[in-house]
Amino acid sequence: MRTYVGVIALSFRDYQAYRTNMLLRVVTGLIGVMLQAVVWSAIYARRSVLGGFTMTEAVTYVIVSQALMRATVVRSGLELTKKFRSGEITKDLCLPVDLQAYLGAKDLGRSLSASLFVSVPMFLISWVAFRITVPASAGTWCVFLLAWLLGVVLQLLLGFLAGVAGIYTQYGWGTDKLKDAIVLFFSGAIVPLDFFPPGLERLARALPFQSAYYLPLSIYVGKTSLPQALPVLGLQAFWCITLLLLSRVAWTIARRRLSLFGG
């Protein structure tokens, strides 16, 4: 465990190697925020409530979502496929670590770095510029952050699974982008699930992806009250455990494949 904490800390610093790059990420992020603000102001021009969201709630939802999207850096899947292809995986398998945990810890470090140096500035600027709302109680903040963390873990697991799938397609870019597209659509990162057509909404709620953005953000904007949050956290944990088991099986099979095809 101390090993992985060390990996997180090192990766946290590694990600900050290029400061200008960090600054540019903040700028890019803010452009996305502005785009969302413009679109949603237009949508709400002639109504005050849509899908149960007031304009302030909707704008807060999508802007915080933009900040959260910049905070999640999932590279482990693509890294896994690339390492598999280049044979670099051989070196990693010589280390006394579990490869999934090791790659996951690296991503956590990166995500922490991005959260602190990209998302927090984005959030603060948006807070001043677009007057988004902020949860009043410390309890809501805590539960939101916990739900968000479970969402990150879920995204790491999905990333790893996409990486293992990439081993089979031999070129990881396709599976990783497919995963990104599915998550972007079904997680409610761009549009809250409440705005989906009923059939699609039901589907999205049955899938694990809502854990990544919709569930934490619902807590943030107050659509999920604190007493309602407990089953939500339970659902998120359920999906994390399920995907964890799935990824362990997939990885065992992939290691056998590595053995069959050479490094």
Partner 1 sequence: MGEAVVVNNLRKVYRVRKLVGKWPADLLSFRWTEVPALQQVSFSMNSGEAVAYVGPNGAGKSTTIKILAGVLRPTEGSVRVFGHDPFRYRIHNSHNIGVVFGQRTQLWWELPVIDSYRMIAKIYGVPRSDLDKRLEMAVDLLELEKLLHRPARTLSLGEKMRAELGSVLLHGPRLLLLDEPTLGVDLSGKRRIRQFLAHLKKIGVTVFLATHDLGDIESTCDRLIMVHQGRIVLDGMVSELLASFGHDIEVRFADDRVEGRSLSDALGLEVSGANGRFVIHGKGTEPPVSVVERLFSLGKVVDISVKAPDLEFVIGSIYDRLSGGQSSCGHTSG
> For partner 1, what does the binding mask look like between residues 31 and 70, x meaning CB under 8 A?
----------------------------------------
Q: Examine residue 96 and tell whether it contacts partner 1 (CB under 8 A).
A: yes
97 contributes a contact to partner 1 by CB under 8 A: yes
Q: Does 258 bind partner 1 (CB under 8 A)?
A: yes
Classify residue 53 by its DSSP letter: E
DSSP, collapsed to helix, strand or coil, labels residue 6 as helix
Residue closer to partner 1 by CB (options 205, 255) is 255
101 binds partner 1 (CB under 8 A): no
Residue 114 in the binding site for partner 1 (CB under 8 A): no
Q: Does 177 bind partner 1 (CB under 8 A)?
A: no
Per-residue H/E/C for 209-227: HHHCCHHHHHHHHCCCCHH
Measured from the Cβ of residue 231, the count of other Cβ atoms closer than 10 Å reads 10
Which one among 27, 93, 134, 245 touches partner 1, defined by CB under 8 A? Answer: 93
By CB atoms closer than 10 A (0-12, 13-18, 19+), residue 199 is exposed
Helices (H), the chain: 2-14, 19-43, 55-71, 76-86, 89-93, 99-114, 120-130, 138-169, 172-186, 198-206, 214-221, 226-261
- Name the one range near partner 1 by CB under 8 A: 87-95, 123-131, 205-213, 222-230: 87-95
CB of 8 to partner 1, least distance (A): 11
Q: How far is the CB of 15 from partner 1 (least distance, A)?
A: 9
Angle formed by the axes of helices 99-114 and 76-86, to 10°? Answer: 130
Token pair for 75: 């590279």
Closest distance of CB 12 from partner 1, Å? 11
Q: Does 19 bind partner 1 (CB under 8 A)?
A: no
Nearer to partner 1, 94 or 138 (CB): 94
Residues pairing with 50 in the sheet: 53
* Interface residues toward partner 1, by CB under 8 A: 2-3, 6-7, 10, 13-14, 17, 87-91, 93-98, 256, 258-263
